[in-house]
Amino acid sequence: MNNEVENLNFEEALSQLETIVRELESGRTKLDDAVSAYEKAVALKKFCEDRLKSAQMKIEKIEISPDGEIKTTTLESIDE
C-alpha cells in the first residue's frame, strides 16, 4: 500500500483521503473494509503531512539571532 500512496501527487492523495473519510463517516462500510480503509487513510495522512512539511521547509529560512533565538523567515521577506 505504501508504494501505491508514494506514487500519488499531493492533490490525489488528499482527494483519496477525503473520500475515505466520507465513506467511514457514513457508517455503511463493512468492518473489514473499514479497517483496510482506515489503514490506507493513515498512510495518506502521513504522506500529505510529509509533503506539506517538505514544502514549508523549502519556503522558510531558519535563522539564529545573536542571542541564540531560533526563528524562521519566509522567503518573501528575505532580503538578498
The pLDDT tens digits of the residues spanning 5-39 come to 889 999 999 999 999 999 999 999 999 999 999 99
pLDDT tens digits, 45-62: 999 999 998 887 777 777
Question: Domains (ranges, CATH) in the chain?
Answer: 2-77 (1.10.287)
Q: Which residue has the cell 521547509?
A: 57
Please give the Cα distance from 71 to 61 (Å, whole number): 8
The pLDDT value recorded for residue 78 is: 47
Alpha carbon distance 37, 47 (integer Å): 15
* pTM (two decimals): 0.69
Residues in the chain: 80
All three cell numbers of 42, joined, read 493513515
Check residues 75 and 66 and name the one with the higher pLDDT: 66
